[in-house]
Amino acid sequence: MSRPELIERRAEWPVQLRLEPLPAEDVDSLIPARIGEALREQIARAAGGNPLFVGEMLAMAGDGDGEMVVPPTLQALLAARLDQLEAAKRTVLECGAIEGEVFHRGAVRALATGEAAVTPRLAALTRKQLIAPDKAQIRGEDGFRFRHLLIRDAAYDALPKAARADVHARFAGWLEEHGTAVVELDELLGYHLEQAVRHRGELGLEDAELAAAARERLSTAGRRALSRLDFDSAARLLERAAALAPASEVDLALETDLIDALTGTEIEQALGRARSLSERSAASDDRVGQLCGRIHEAVLRISVKPAGAADALEALVLEALPVFEAAGDELALRIAYRALGSVANMRAHMDQMAVAYEQAAAYAAPARGTALVGYQGHARFPRLDSAHRAAHLA
Amino acid sequence: MTVLAMLGRIAEARALLGELRAEVIERGALTLHAAIEGYARYIELLAGDLVAAAAAGETGCRLDEELGHSSELSTIAGSLARVYSDLGQLEEAERWASRAAELSSSDDASTQMLWRDAEALVEAHRGQHARAERLAREAVRIGEQTEALNAQAETYADLGEVLALAGRHRRRPRPSKRPWPATRRRRLS
């Protein structure tokens, strides 16, 4: 039923015909073949079996395969439904929307401050077909799902930015306490803290502590993805983490892991990030960071433009090592010795390669980014490039 | 999985490889896929299936080309050239050896050995024995400056084959389309 609120307004109507959501195959048949796979999935998911929603979204989609845009007509329709809710019910719905398409009663209780009757409000929202009970993702909790993703988005969009920032941050606090068994806890916490930072930033409010917490969570999640060789996810998470660093700060461990992740996905982007690291470090008179950026770039050059690259890299590392030793920077030393391992690898100098990687591993303190576990073993093979190393880490 | 193949447990190695390959393809992880094809080539060489080794090499080259990994591409191209020379497909061997020589850095020892060995065998099969011997001896010299013992051994074996094809042998040379000897260990790259 596209507009269940009409039943409430027109109690005198003699007949009620309740329609269940269309099955997935019927929704699919409503979407023309010209619509690409990605957009097709977005429309089907957002429509939740509602043919009106499918039709409206198709009208906006045209022939392209870009991002789904919710049509103003549909936004107005959904906003109108939410406007008719009592303030308390609406607050409960908005608090649920902060968590996402699926949310939990306990979270709403924690977020809807001053609202004592959360359970009856949720029951009422269920009767109004805005939400439905669903499997909880947190043990001991009751789960709910928005009947349509678009309803969730409409509820979320109705919140002012300041309120969104506040509720995202408070939800992160609740999740940290109750979601310890959630597999992707760091990703989720990072996301909610990041959203809080973003909304506050749009209001001109900076919160360094919140940004640092978001960065820490996203970095942890990114490093975990990197360790399982999921380079795409790692790059996305680490890029988001890096974007939360203050403009004046260069987080060398994070930058190094991000470059490693990008190397596994798009080497030109990895080169760009290495150059950027060097430039940003130079701008803040950080000689160690600048040299590390140049070393990262030179290592990547071995892959993309190998002629003379190993000699250039070796010369650069020999220039950098005294600087790193004087600074006592173990992470920089690790980067330098790993680079020497690449040089030796190129020349098939296996013993030198083993020594270099062992030295690098000696500096691979767990607190400072991803360790180089397993690298030194590769000296037993005649020629292993970064891709082979990555596969060996698997 | 390469260890399994070295132990002669080819079916197990191939099964593991198949799982890994399916996973990286599903993930769309091109860099890992390229690496997996490197292992596939090696396992098939140990299994004696040169055609399958060549197919894995071709896929690896295509992926590295797509990724812009010139250095990795040059090494795999050299290895592929060497496989084609063993298959007796001399034109293909020559084509990939040229590609490896063109892309590789002068200090990339493995690739420098691989393309020389492949081209030496092509020349030897065409009766160009002097040029073949020169290339094979260059490969030996490059290998001797490395600590890559398997690769060194390969250059010696290939020089021996070149000399045998020139008639400088006591026994008949092996036919170029021979099955891969199970005891012979190829370089990994």
Residues of B with Cβ-Cβ distance to A350 under 8 angstroms: 146-148
pLDDT, tens digit (0-9, with 9 covering 90-100), for B114-159? 999 999 999 999 999 999 999 999 999 999 999 989 899 999 999 9
Residue A362: pLDDT over 90:
no
Whether A51 and A106 share a structural domain? no
Q: Considering only residues 4 to 43 of chain B, which have any Cβ-Cβ distance to chain A shorter than 8 Å?
A: 20, 27-29, 31-32, 34-36, 38-39
Whether A225 and A179 share a structural domain? yes
Q: Is residue A256 part of a domain?
A: no
Q: What is the 3-state secondary structure (H, E, C) of chain A?
A: CCCCHHHHHCCCCCCCCCCCCCCHHHHHHHCCCCCCHHHHHHHHHHHCCCHHHHHHHHHHHCCCCCCCCCCHHHHHHHHHHHHCCCHHHHHHHHHHHHHCCEEEHHHHHHHCCCCCCHHHHHHHHHHCCCEEEECCCCCCCCEEEECCHHHHHHHHHCCCHHHHHHHHHHHHHHHHHHCCCCCCHHHHHHHHHHHHHHHHHHCCCCCHHHHHHHHHHHHHHHHHHHHCCCHHHHHHHHHHHHHCCCCCCCCHHHHHHHHHHHHCCCHHHHHHHHHHHHHHHHHCCCHHHHHHHHHHHHHHHHHHCCCCHHHHHHHHHHHHHHHHHHHCCHHHHHHHHHHHHHHHHHCCCHHHHHHHHHHHHHCCCHHHCCCCCCHHHHHHCCCCCHHHHHHHHC
What is this model's ipTM?
Answer: 0.79
Report the distance separating Cα A145 and Cα A148, nearest Å: 8
CB contact under 8 A, A350 and B27: no
Polymer length in residues for chain B:
189
Mean predicted confidence (pLDDT) in A350-369: 78
Whether A313 and A394 share a structural domain? yes
**pLDDT the model gives residue A128:** 86
Whether A153 and A41 share a structural domain? no
Mean predicted confidence (pLDDT) in A188-217: 95
Whether A381 and A289 share a structural domain? yes
**pLDDT the model gives residue A51:** 80
Q: Is residue A377 part of a domain?
A: yes
% of chain A exceeding 70 in pLDDT: 84
Mean predicted confidence (pLDDT) in A18-45: 82
- What's the structural domain count of chain A? 4
- Residue that is last in its domain, among A18, A45, A69: A69
Residues 6+ apart with CB under 8 A from A287: A281, A323, A327
Q: Of A123-127, A312-316, B25-29, B83-87, where does mean pLDDT reach its minimum? A: B25-29
Residue A133 pairs in a beta bridge with: A144
**pLDDT the model gives residue A368:** 47
What residue of A is the nearest CA neighbor of B71? A303
C-beta of residue B136 within 8 angstroms of C-beta of residue B116: yes
Domain that holds residue A128: 82-158
pLDDT, tens digit (0-9, with 9 covering 90-100), for B83-117? 999 999 999 999 999 999 999 999 899 999 999 99
Residues of A with Cβ-Cβ distance to B34 under 8 angstroms: 387
The confidence band for A20, taking pLDDT boundaries of 50, 70 and 90, is: confident
What residues of chain A have any CB closer than 8 angstroms to a CB in chain B? 229-232, 263-265, 267-268, 302-311, 346-352, 381-388, 390-391, 394
pLDDT, tens digit (0-9, with 9 covering 90-100), for B13-67? 999 999 999 999 998 889 999 999 999 999 999 999 999 999 999 999 999 999 9
Mean predicted confidence (pLDDT) in A255-284: 95
C-beta of residue A280 within 8 angstroms of C-beta of residue A314: no
Whether A187 and A153 share a structural domain? no
pTM: 0.78
Q: Is residue A257 part of a domain?
A: no
Residue A317 pairs in a beta bridge with: none
Q: Is residue A293 part of a domain?
A: yes
Q: Is residue A372 part of a domain?
A: yes
Number of Cβ atoms within 10 Å of the Cβ of A9: 10
Number of Cβ atoms within 10 Å of the Cβ of A357: 26
Mean predicted confidence (pLDDT) in A313-333: 96
CB contact under 8 A, B68 and A265: no
The confidence band for A391, taking pLDDT boundaries of 50, 70 and 90, is: very low
Mean pLDDT taken over chain A: 85
The confidence band for A11, taking pLDDT boundaries of 50, 70 and 90, is: low
Q: Considering only residues 96 to 115 of chain B, which have any Cβ-Cβ distance to chain A shorter than 8 Å?
A: 103-111
Q: Is residue A77 part of a domain?
A: no
The confidence band for A3, taking pLDDT boundaries of 50, 70 and 90, is: low
Whether A61 and A89 share a structural domain? no
CB contact under 8 A, B146 and A349: yes
What residue of A is the nearest CA neighbor of B23? A230
Tell me how far CA of residue A367 lies from CA of A168, A295, A363, in angstroms: 28, 22, 11
Whether A5 and A19 share a structural domain? yes
Whether A148 and A270 share a structural domain? no
Residue B188: pLDDT over 70:
no
Is the CB of B79 inside 8 Å of chain A's CB atoms?
no
**pLDDT the model gives residue A5:** 63
Whether A225 and A287 share a structural domain? no
Q: Is residue A255 part of a domain?
A: no
Mean predicted confidence (pLDDT) in A179-196: 95
**pLDDT the model gives residue A7:** 64
**pLDDT the model gives residue A6:** 64
Residue A185: pLDDT over 80:
yes
**pLDDT the model gives residue A394:** 33
- Residue that is last in its domain, among A143, A158, A173: A158
CB contact under 8 A, B107 and A310: yes
- Residue that is last in its domain, among A23, A40, A69: A69
Q: Is residue A3 part of a domain?
A: yes
Whether A268 and A386 share a structural domain? yes
Report the distance separating Cα A133 and Cα A144, nearest Å: 4
The confidence band for A389, taking pLDDT boundaries of 50, 70 and 90, is: very low
Residues of A with Cβ-Cβ distance to B75 under 8 angstroms: 383, 385
Report the distance separating Cα A73 and Cα A138, nearest Å: 36
- Work out the burial of residue A45: count CB atoms within 10 Å of its CB; fewer than 13 is exposed, 13-18 middle, 19 or more buried: middle
Tell me, what DSSP letter sits at residue B49? -
**pLDDT the model gives residue B173:** 52
Whether A234 and A273 share a structural domain? no
Place of tokens 């994070």: A254
